[in-house]
């Protein structure tokens, strides 16, 4: 199992860098992961991350559509906050597995 050091915490990750233990996540670690992804976290980012973590812990499927329905941001803003591959980046920063819908 691979490990990465974020904000002084050793985090267990898979070969793509996604957390294998979501309990190792906290906001300080999230900020460090986001920095590696070229993102500086804002309150909007954190609201989305908390939404994703909540959906994941409930066993709900994660999708861009669910982000749009969250009431936090619309799809266009989601793409602006997490440029490139928004759902992949957001879930990595949120400390949860990459959704099966992401390639």
2-43 residue pLDDT tens? 999 999 999 999 999 999 999 999 999 999 999 999 999 999
Q: What is the pLDDT of residues 49-70, one digit of tens each?
A: 999 999 999 988 888 899 999 9
Residue 46, domain member (yes or no): yes
Q: Out of 31, 46, 47, 102, which one is annotated catalytic? A: 102
What average pLDDT does the chain have?
92
Total domains in the chain come to 1
What pLDDT is attached to residue 100?
A: 65
The verdict on whether 19 is a catalytic residue reads: no
Which range marks the domain in which residue 64 is found?
A: 2-94
Q: Is the dihedral of CA 71, 68, 90, 86 positive or negative?
A: negative
99 in any annotated domain: no
Within a domain: residue 101?
no
Instruction: Confirm whether 66 is domain-assigned.
Output: yes
Q: 0.85 cut: is pTM over it?
A: yes
């Amino acid at each position: 199992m691979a490990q990465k050091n974020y904000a002084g915490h050793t985090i267990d990750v898979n070969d793509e860098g996604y957390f294998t233990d979501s309990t190792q996540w906290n906001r300080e670690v999230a900020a460090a992961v986001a920095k590696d992804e070229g993102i500086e976290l804002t309150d909007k980012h954190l609201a989305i991350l908390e939404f994703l973590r909540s959906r994941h812990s409930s066993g709900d499927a994660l999708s861009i559509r669910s982000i749009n329905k969250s009431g936090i941001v619309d799809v266009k803003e989601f793409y602006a906050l997490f440029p490139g591959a928004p759902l992949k980046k957001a879930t990595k920063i949120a400390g949860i597995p990459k959704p099966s819908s992401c390639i």
